[in-house]
Structures are given as structure tokens and as C-alpha cells.
Amino acid sequence: MQVIGIGFARTGTTSLRSALGTLGLGPCYHMLDVMSDHRRVRQWLDIARGAEPDWDRVFDGYRSAVDWPVAAYWRELADAYPDAKLVLTVRDPDSWYDSVRKTIFKIRIDPPRGPARIGARVAEALSPDLRAFLAMTRETVEQPLFDDRLADRAYMTSAFTRHIEQVRAAFPAGRLLTFQAADGWAPLCEFLGTPVPGRPFPRDNSSADFRRTTAPYFARLVYGPLLRWTPKRRSR
């Protein structure tokens, strides 16, 4: 593991993932990778419930990692990979909260009503993968980081700011870069010792794009168990 992004989700982590891939530091592990494989969901759920993590197994095949649930374990991962560079993605706290409220935490804060609510409950009841994913996000992010107070703007922005302060206090400047996607390639490439690419810095997964980006991954969580199930052929 060469680079670990330890900023909260919705701080440009998907853009950073793309940037690290462009710089030759991919594949980069992200929540989308977790959602794409039910086994990864259960790895993190087991860790949240006290299992001893085998980080090399979790990140097998990856050279970098960003986003949640990675950033929720920043202390443990920084210790496990002492030579890894750390990137703390940041943004204005209120802008960050507006984004997570409209995207990641929208259903938790403003649950669907009517037929949509029934559909959500049916999907959760029928899919063990979706149930495991929802439990994993609660137990790795919502409870330990935010005390389940997702609708409390003041509490959430305070937790966001506190995370930034704790990270900055924990590491020397030579190991940690505080970074905004608007900063572009220059500070990131200088920090990582890589050439500056001749293309614009990525701008991925905006709030407007969030549903379109994540929909296939949620569909995989809902329908994955059905797709994996195949009836046994009747012997003749």
C-alpha cells in the first residue's frame, strides 16, 4: 500500500481515486470496490464487529485506498503501512454536509415514503448482501464517527472538522498532504514524486452524478444473491 486517502467521503475521494490511477498508483480501493463484491462488505462488517483485520488480504491487488470505510480506520492503516503516503482530502464543512445529506445519507435522513418505502423494505428483506452492506456502513461509519446523528448539521460538521484536526496533529508534513481537488495536480504530484500529467485533474462523482454513479452498485447488492443462485440440475 503506497497511498492512503484518509479524508471523509464526499471530499473528492472518487476524483482522487482516478488521479492515483493516472499517476500509476492504482488500482485504488474505494467504497465502490466494496459495493462491487459482497465478500468485501463482509470483511469490513467482521472488522467492525471485532475481527482481527488482515489488511494485506483486504487490500490484496491494490496499491492505494481512499474513501470510507478506509478513512474510518486511518489510525490503524497508517500504523499497518508506515511507508504509505497519506492524503487528507478536505472541503468546507457546510458544503461537505450539504453533499452527504443529498447523497450518502439521504435515505437515512429522509427515508422514502409510500411505495418507494415498501420497495426499499422488500429489497432489504430479500437481499442478504444489501442487509450486510447497510449494517457495515452503520457500524464502520454512522455509529462510530457520527453517533448516528446524521441529521444534526452542527454535530456532523463538528465531527468533520475534528477529524481534520486529529489527522493533522498525528502526522508530520512529510507524510501527510492536506488536499482539495481544486488544488489540481501540482501539490499532489510534488508530494508523491510523480510527473504532472498533461490532462485536467479528474472531477468525478459530483452530487448531481451520485445516483447515476452508484445505481449499478446498489443493483448488484440487491440482485447479487439471486444472480449467484442457480438451481441444481435434476439428475436423470
| CATH of residue 138 | 3.40.50.300
Quote the pLDDT of residue 84.
Answer: 98
C-alpha Rg value of the chain to the nearest Å: 19
Tell me how far apart the terminal alpha carbons of the chain are, to the nearest angstrom: 52
Rounded CA separation 84/175 (Å): 8
Report the alpha-carbon angle 25-57-47, nearest 5: 110
Tell me what pLDDT residue 151 has.
96
120 confidence band (pLDDT: 50, 70, 90): low
pTM value is 0.88
Characterize the bridge pairing of strands 3-5 and 28-29: unpaired
Q: Is residue 231 part of a domain?
A: no
Q: Is there a domain that residue 185 lies in?
A: yes
Say how many domains are in the chain.
Answer: 1
pLDDT tens, 131-173? Answer: 999 999 999 999 999 999 999 999 999 999 999 999 999 999 8
In a domain, 181, yes or no: yes
Assess if residue 233 is contained within a domain. no
Q: Is 236 within the bounds of a domain?
A: no
**Inside any domain, residue 130:** yes
The band of 125, judged by pLDDT with boundaries at 50, 70 and 90, is: low
- For the four alpha carbons of 157, 141, 173 and 27, in that order, the dihedral sign comes to negative
Q: Is residue 234 part of a domain?
A: no
**DSSP string of 54-106?**
-HHHHTTT-SEE-STTGGGGHHHHHHH-TT-EEEEE---HHHHHHHHHHTTTH
Type of residue numbered 28: C
Q: Is residue 147 part of a domain?
A: yes
Average pLDDT, the chain: 90
Q: Which structural domain, as residue segments, surrounds residue 65?
A: 3-225
Query: Among residues 112, 127, 147, 129, which one has the least CA distance to residue 41?
Result: 129
In this structure, how many other beta carbons lie within 10 angstroms of the beta carbon of residue 139?
17
pLDDT at 123 over 70: no
CA distance 190 to 169: 22
Give residue-wise pLDDT tens across range 57-95: 999 999 999 999 999 999 999 999 999 999 999 999 999
pLDDT grade for 96, boundaries at 50, 70 and 90? very high
